Amino acid sequence: MPRIALTVHPADNVVTLLDFDETDMHTHDGLLLRGRIPFGHKAASRPIAHGDPIIKYGVAIGVATRTIAAGEHVHVHNCR
């Protein structure tokens, strides 16, 4: 089953995973996930450069502390 990933706002560069099946690496709208991402966590929906804002809800919720590839888990290890 492709995973459910919700984009809250059109300007967002992350999606939120809303299902519990961490084995499938594809989301229902075609994003290839890089690794297992738990329910409620975020994945980059496009490449994000080091220092660029992480956008969710259409606002900057943090800054990328290194370059993040599309499909990569976005959390405290690469966003502050």
Partner 1 sequence: MSTTAAESSFMFDGYVRPDGRVGIRNHLALVSTVALANRVAELAAARFDAERGPGSDPVLRVSGEFQRGLQTPDAMLQDQIIEQLITHPNIGAAVVLCHDRRAAQSWTRRLSQFGRPIEVLAVMESKGVGHAIDRTVQALKAQALMLGDALRTPCPLSSLSIALECGGSDASSAVCANPAIGRFVDRAVGAGATVIVSETAEFIGGEDVVRAQSIDPDIAHAIIDRIAQVESRMSGDGDHYRGVNPTAENIEAGLTTLTEKTMGAVCKIGTSRFAGCLAFGERPDRPGLHFMDTPFFSPCSITGMLAAGAQLTLFAMGVFNPSGNPLAPTLKICGNPDTLAHWADGIDVGLAELIDGRIGLDQAGDRIAEAVRAVACGATTHTERWGEGQFIIPRMLPSF
Interaction site with partner 1 (CB under 8 A): 4, 6, 8-9, 16, 18-19, 28, 38-42, 54, 56-62, 74-76, 79-80
Give 47 or 62: the residue with its C-beta nearer to partner 1.
Answer: 62
Maximum CA pair distance of the chain?
34
Shortest distance (Å) from residue 27 CB to partner 1: 9
Q: Which lies closer to partner 1 via its Cβ, residue 57 or residue 69?
A: 57
Sequence-ordered list of residues with C-beta below 8 angstroms from that of 39, at least 6 positions apart, any chain: 17, 18, 19, 20
Element (H, E) at 63: strand 59-63
The DSSP call for residue 38 is -
Rank residues 6 and 32 by Cβ distance to partner 1 and give the closer one: 6
